Amino acid sequence: MPSRRENASDYTVHPANWERDGAALANVRRRVFIEEQGVPESLEWDGEDARAFHIVAENTSGSAIGTGRLLDTGHIGRMAVLPAWRGRGVGRAILAELLTTASQRRYPRCWLNAQASATGFYLPFGFIVDSDEFLDAGMPHYRMIHDPER
């Protein structure tokens, strides 16, 4: 599983608490999913956040720049990195932390619904495509499952 972090001194990645950090996490997701990608608010806010495990990436000023969540079903989702921080290892660091947590919790399998354009991001982590293409929020997606033996 990749763990290399470019410019790691520019940001930190750590667990977040929705009650304490929810506004900052929601801001990242609003900017990426709702404003940038046009996801309807009714689809973004699904009621799962209070019970999910969250990871936040923060810049050196402590502002949230990325996030992701893990449900107790092994579902990884809501992976979002602000545009200015993409390509700097932030998303990889978030995903690595989510997979580590899933392993520590002994989840039998992790899965996610990847935007078609992002499937290549998940492949080096051991995810494999497990579905035909489908639409989610009007965008093409694939279900991917994590195969740690890969």
Q: Does residue 130 belong to any structural domain of this protein?
A: no
Residue 29 inside a domain? The answer is yes
pLDDT computed for residue 71 by the predictor: 97
Percent of the chain at pLDDT > 90 equals: 88
* 55: CB partners within 8 A, 6+ apart: 13, 14, 15, 16, 67, 68, 69, 70, 94, 97, 98, 101
Spatial separation of the C-alpha atoms in residues 122 and 105, rounded to whole Å: 21
The answer to whether position 59 is within a domain reads yes
Look at 46-55, 86-95, 111-120, 141-150 and tell me which has the smallest mean pLDDT.
141-150
Asked if residue 142 is part of any domain, the answer here is no
At 16-50, the pLDDT tens digits run: 999 999 999 999 999 999 999 999 999 999 999 99
**Do the domain assignments include residue 76?**
yes
* Domain count within the chain: 1
Please report whether residue 52 resides in a domain. yes
Rounded CA separation 92/87 (Å) = 9
- pLDDT band (50, 70, 90) for residue 110: very high
Which CATH number characterizes residue 55's domain? 3.40.630.30
Asked, for residue 93, whether it belongs to a domain, the answer is yes
Whole domain around residue 69: which residue ranges? 8-108
Does 136 reside within a domain?
no
